[in-house]
A and B are shown apart, each in its own frame.
Chain A
């Protein structure tokens, strides 16, 4: 897979060696780097298994909104507010985040807490398994990526993702939501109608050595910690060592990489 992807890149003459991926995201990140023609940014972060640890105790309405806004502005996610909504990161209540684990006597504090939801960048991702075009694929560092130039819009990945992490562009954001207003981040491409999108773990930011936008947005409270789980000294790993954390629907075997400290 890696090989064919590489040769495809060469054909197009836009090889970003080292990243070895073709996505609007990387192209953009590269355009931004500018100077390093064919090598990755030396400041770029590398890891083997990126993960997020969300400390729910530290989250409230305000901090979660900050995280959501940061992500959606930086990635030009339209806000339709209906059943066709597109969301990369959002909140929901415990009973919806961990269905089947709620009970009638849930601690009040947990019951009403806003949980942050996003793609889990599963280690064994069913969305990647089912995609007929490899438009959804997994990088060596565990990030589950989307290539919106290859996606045929079959939505098989949406049926396969047990976390509801994926959104489909039912209409064209460029001619609807962004018709009269500029997309907030001119450096990030808007999508067209007919393709799927989701959180990309800020791959374009990691490539230039920046933290994911949602992590950055709440960094004062340290409510979301980002790190490499394969690195025993990473902040995320140490946090998981100290505090009890759970994951969504672990019984399905997808091995999610977003952890919740409750």
Chain B
């Protein structure tokens, strides 16, 4: 790609320097990090921790794929396999995907985007990180002590009566990490309501903020229900109360209702912040205001609201009444509408935009394609007839990996690359990161597309072995997973490398419009020298052009 095809504008590298004072060198030493109240530093603490957990979860994923290379259970014993996929799911969902974008980029950017010095409650923000780490340690402990094999869904009475693994320890870990998520959501909502700079009206907010606002509603209202459900499971396992125990009159189906009342909204906790990233990236690299800004903003809120009324689509085969299943099937179709609104509006933004293909944009394109497939297959699953055939097969596994890995993880990486220059002050290396984006996409398709076919042909999920006729597609999937692994390892290498050797980014390498791009990179501890007054819409590239005309050379 020639340099004409880029919007990147870096300062003259021979003279450029990082600003003398910024949030990273304001104070030094471990203590200044562990006791910090600065939202940007807390974001970094989260970044380290979730990267760690991502690699733990990834190691389990590799074991799963290796095991499924052959039809027999050759590598792992079946009960070990159960532990491996359970730990994979628990770690990836609760310790990586749920906090991924909100706790890192959201924490870092929301105050800056709305022109505030910090989140409303810096101490609670730090507390949330400690809770997250404590929850993570419990889950690690459960793992080291011998694992847990309930699946991430903790299905009763399996989890309460029949398993001799560390269910309570793991549940406690999720309970604690859940409070981290509640506090993050609470902090975001209060911050967005109360801390906006003068002139930053609701409809001038970047869509990143809207997406996080919607996700925060889900965190605050959904997570406590998961918490109480896990408490009841733990009490049932330890002292033997019987809210879900049929021998005592309890009903396991109630557990399913309560669990999915959280866990369906949780999928939107995971995807909304990803969508939030995509809006920013698409606008910047097509140099247009997001088409239908208001529709995209409201579709986030609509997803949050509808998201609470579809949970029963996870239970169609569990003996729920046909009439209620019908209603939930219909509502499931409806929840796809706001997601579709977003996809259409992003496409319309791209239409006749001046598109450039920097790394974040490549990841964003990956998101668009993969999320669309994932979402559409979700609609298949939402239709009851299809679901009876496809549920508990690899089709489900493919569906949610398309939305969670193809969607959310792509969005996370898009966001990480996009804001890396702001976070660190330096650019990531251009060519190799583009390679990583492409490798990730190819690896992803090879890993998960065959799983749709496998599921359609009837291969059930969560078994350590399978009939030999499924082997070809499984080998393809495992091969794809190795490519995918390369795609994820590359950023792990070049991102740290860029901390020292990356080009100096300057304030606004992408010529983007957000408030975060108008301050130094990395930002000052207090973000702004003086509180900004906002007098223009989000994504106003004309305003930016006028700005650059009377730009002053000095920074900070």
Is the A/B pair a real complex?
Answer: no
Chain B positions within 8 Å of A, measured between CB atoms, are none
